[in-house]
Structure 1
Amino acid sequence: MLLSMTGHGAGSAVGDRLRASAEIRSVNNRFLKIAVRCSDGFGLLDTRIEDHLRGRLKRGTVTVNVRIVRKWSEADIQVNEPLLAGYLQLVRRVGGLGDSAPVDVSALLELPGVLADPSREEADLDAIWPTVLESLDQAVESLEGMRQREGRAMADDLLANLAAIDSELEAIVRRSPLVVESYQTRLTERLQKLLAQHDVQVNATDLIREVGIFADRCDIAEETVRLRSHLTQFRAVIGEAESNGRKLDFITQEMFRETNTIGSKANDSEIAHHVVGVKTTIERIREMVQNIE
């Protein structure tokens, strides 16, 4: 099954006093390049997230955004009661207040160290990780679903292009034997016209030898057989269970090379026309293959 390297996925999960959401975007790249960005205070998770994704993805430029929100309740707010009592005694002593005199408690609570801010506490990454991982895996599954859908569409398009090459190749194979016959006819006519002017006869053996040299020089049988073989291999890779864009890219290069050789050897305008059609189709295939994992 072919997989596109372009896609997008998102996921979210809720844990104990924690909510995590992940978003993944992927575009084509010959290699695997991952960039991770976590919410402030959770940057130490970046490496762990990247390592996990490297086990799930093979190629592409992947951008990952993970947002982590911690939820707090009143029970999480801790009061440093000894420090608060010390502040209270200091206020009474400095202000000359009795023990029963009213004091602005809200002002005391704002003094440094009285209230512990849970948002400033260092996160327990091991406790957070399962929730982050759940959101991340959801995003990866969503991404893979999109890449599979695009991969199926690309496979259909590639097969249609291969069929177009088949059609052009059949026309080339049908035309190939006629090239030598046409050359022999043209050569004979030119020689007869030229020699008649000088009353000279040409040896049939020499004519046959010349035609044989031409036939050998423009023989494209091996190239057409190899091109057919590459088309068969390409279809086989499309049908494999695992996506293999690099292999398809290699086969595409070989197809282009054989087509170039056919064009340079054939020495025929009609075959040249079909070669242009094949090369144009291979270029379309090459562009699509660059986006296959």
Structure 2
Amino acid sequence: MLLSMTGHGEAHVDRDNVHVSVELRSVNNRYFKLNLRISDGYNGLESRIESLVRRYVHRGSVNANVRIVRDATPDDYHLNLTVLKSYRKQLESLCDELHLPELVHVNALLSLPGVVSERVGAAADADEDWSIVEAAVTQAAERLAEMRAEEGRAMQFDFERNAATITTELGEVESRAPLVVENYRTRLTERLNKLLAEYDVRVEPADVVREVGLFAERSDISEEIVRLRSHLEQFAAFIEQAESNGRKLEFLIQEMFREANTIGSKSNDARIAQHVVEIKTAVERMREMVQNVE
């Protein structure tokens, strides 16, 4: 089964007073790479998150954003009585000086800077919250894997369609190849007879046969056809396997392109050259797609 290296998955888990949001985005990369952003106080979970994501992604660059929020409790806040008393004393002095009635409520004092402070980081407990984070990351990774598998199925269809095009064009090349030698024999005989006619010299069949034999040897593409067909069979087998074989497929496509180039350079025939163009076009489409296969 083919897996795309491009995908997206997200999840949200709320449990007790902890809220976890996870977003995963993956793009193609020759190796596995995790770029993780996580809420302050939870850096100790990075290795565990990476191990978890690796279960679902073997190749590709994954950008992970893990946001963990704990609902505040009374213990998370600190009332600074020294600051509060200072504000109160200054307000009393101001009211006495301006002969104003003292109408300031305690709620107004609590909203002033420095009176109430939140204990940053005191609420974060990585080990205690790991089960919630694990659940959220797992859900996001499963959704990422589903999307990568869906794109992989679409790519497999395109691979099979292009492979069918190559097979068809290769059949045309194979049928045309014997005619190339025969056409060369005819053209060579006619050309020699025309050149030697004024000298009343007769072309020896053995000379023609020898020259045609050399041409046939130089332009023989039977081995390249066999190898290219073998690569297509291997390719079809790999895309049906349970695991994704991006690197193996990439190698086979490189070999297909090389065989197609050799066929084109050895054939010495315009019709075969046209078929080779179609083959190389299909191989090039496959080469672009395989860059995104895990």
TM range (shorter): 0.7 to 0.9
Alignment-mate amino acid for residue 12 of structure 1 = H
1:52 corresponding residue in structure 2: 52
Deviation readout 1:239-275 (Å, 9 max, x if unpaired): 1111111110000001001111111111111101110
Q: CA deviation at 1:77?
A: 5.3
Number of residues of Structure 1 aligned to a counterpart in Structure 2:
278
2:133 corresponding residue in structure 1: 132
Alignment-mate amino acid for residue 132 of structure 1 = V
1:205 corresponding residue in structure 2: 206
Q: How does 1:113-152 map to 2 (within 5 A)?
A: 117=118, 119-121=120-122, 123-152=124-153
* Corresponding residue SS for 2:43: coil
Alignment-mate amino acid for residue 248 of structure 2 = K
- TM-score, structure 2 length as denominator? 0.85
Which range is displaced more, 117-126 or 134-143? 117-126
Distance (Å, rounded) in 2 between the aligned partners of 1:148 and 1:276: 32
2:95 corresponding residue in structure 1: none
* Corresponding residue SS for 1:40: coil
Deviation readout 1:181-217 (Å, 9 max, x if unpaired): 0000000000111111111122211111111111111
Q: CA deviation at 1:78?
A: 7.3
Identity of aligned residues (%): 55
2:290 corresponding residue in structure 1: 289
Q: CA deviation at 1:40?
A: 2.9
Moved over 6 A (4+): 104-116
Uncovered stretches (5+) of structure 1, i.e. residues with no partner: 96-103
Distance (Å, rounded) in 1 between the aligned partners of 2:222 and 2:78: 89
Alignment-mate amino acid for residue 225 of structure 1 = V
Is the CA contact 2:42–2:125 (under 8 Å) kept in the aligned structure 1?
no
Uncovered stretches (5+) of structure 2, i.e. residues with no partner: 93-104
- TM-score, structure 1 length as denominator? 0.86
Is the CA contact 1:7–1:147 (under 8 Å) kept in the aligned structure 2?
yes
Distance (Å, rounded) in 2 between the aligned partners of 1:108 and 1:202: 117
Alignment-mate amino acid for residue 55 of structure 1 = R
Alignment-mate amino acid for residue 62 of structure 2 = V
Q: 1:227 to 1:78 in 2, by over 3 A?
A: closer
1:227 corresponding residue in structure 2: 228
Q: CA deviation at 1:50?
A: 2.2
Q: CA deviation at 1:175?
A: 0.2
Distance (Å, rounded) in 2 between the aligned partners of 1:63 and 1:134: 18
Distance (Å, rounded) in 1 between the aligned partners of 2:237 and 2:245: 11
Alignment-mate amino acid for residue 228 of structure 1 = R
Q: CA deviation at 1:31?
A: 1.3
Distance (Å, rounded) in 2 between the aligned partners of 1:175 and 1:9: 51
* Corresponding residue SS for 1:44: helix
2:256 corresponding residue in structure 1: 255
Alignment-mate amino acid for residue 223 of structure 1 = E
Q: How does 1:1-293 map to 2 (within 5 A)?
A: 1-74=1-74, 76=75, 117=118, 119-121=120-122, 123-293=124-294
Is the CA contact 1:84–1:109 (under 8 Å) kept in the aligned structure 2?
no
Is the CA contact 1:10–1:23 (under 8 Å) kept in the aligned structure 2?
yes
Is the CA contact 1:12–1:134 (under 8 Å) kept in the aligned structure 2?
no
Q: 1:127 to 1:196 in 2, by over 3 A?
A: same
Alignment-mate amino acid for residue 164 of structure 2 = A
Alignment-mate amino acid for residue 179 of structure 2 = L
Alignment-mate amino acid for residue 59 of structure 1 = R
Alignment-mate amino acid for residue 187 of structure 1 = L
Q: CA deviation at 1:112?
A: 12
Deviation readout 1:144-194 (Å, 9 max, x if unpaired): 111111111110111011111111101100100000000000000001111
Is the CA contact 2:78–2:118 (under 8 Å) kept in the aligned structure 1?
no
Is the CA contact 2:10–2:21 (under 8 Å) kept in the aligned structure 1?
yes
Alignment-mate amino acid for residue 23 of structure 1 = E
